[in-house]
A and B are shown apart, each in its own frame.
Chain A
Amino acid sequence: MSGAGLPESASLTASTFASFEEFTFTYDTASEPTLTGLTLGLRADQLTLISGPSGGGKSTLARVVAGFIPRPLGGSFEGTARVLGHDVESAPPHVLTESVGVVFDNPFDQLTAATSTAFDEVAYALENEGLPPDEIVARALEALESVGLAEMTGRHPRRLSGGQSQRLAIACALAQRKPILVLDDPTSQLDPTGREEVVSLVRTLRDAGTTVVLVAQDLGHWLEMADRLVILDEGRVTADGHPATLLTDPRLFDGTILVPRCVAVWADLRRRGIALGDTPPLTTDQLVSSVRNLGREREPTP
Chain B
Amino acid sequence: MSAIKDGLRFKTAFTTTAWVLIPVAIGINLIGRFFTQTLNLPLFLDTIGTTMAAFLAGPWVAAVAGVLTNLVIGLTLEATSIPFGIVNAAIGIVAGVMAAYGFLRSTGKIIVMMLCLTAITIITAMPLVVLVFEGVSGSGVDAVTGFFAASGRNMVESVLGQQLLTTPGDKVLTVLLAFALIKGVPQRYRPPFGREVIPF
Contacts and interface: CB of A to CB of B under 8 A. Distances in A.
Contact of B15 (A28, A30, A72, A113): A72
B187 A72 contact: no
A74 B196 CA distance: 14
A72 B6 CA distance: 14
Contact of A74 (B16, B23, B192): B192
B16 A72 contact: yes
Contacts, number: 12
Interface in A61-80: 72, 74
A111 to B, nearest CB: 11
B11 interface: no
12 contacts: A27-B188, A28-B192, A29-B187, A29-B188, A29-B195, A30-B188, A72-B15, A72-B16, A72-B17, A74-B192, A113-B23, A114-B23
Contact-residue bracket for chain A: under 10
The 4 A-B pairs of least Cβ separation, nearest first, read A29-B188, A29-B187, A113-B23, A72-B16
A114 B22 CA distance: 12
Nearest to A113: B23
Interface string A1-44: 00000000000000000000000000111100000000000000
Interface of A: 27-30, 72, 74, 113-114
Majority-rule SS of A interface residues? loop
Nearest to B15: A72
Nearest to A74: B192
Contacts of B192: 28, 74
B139 to A, nearest CB: 28
A295 B119 CA distance: 85
Contacts of A30: 188
B18 to A, nearest CB: 11
B46 to A, nearest CB: 20
Interface in B156-197: 187-188, 192, 195
Nearest to B17: A72
Contacts of B187: 29
A193 B41 CA distance: 45
Contacts of B15: 72
A63 to B, nearest CB: 13
Contacts of A114: 23
A170 B15 CA distance: 25
Nearest to B189: A29
Nearest to A29: B188
Nearest to B16: A72
B56 to A, nearest CB: 14
Contacts of B17: 72
Contacts of A72: 15-17
A113 to B, nearest CB: 6
B1 to A, nearest CB: 14
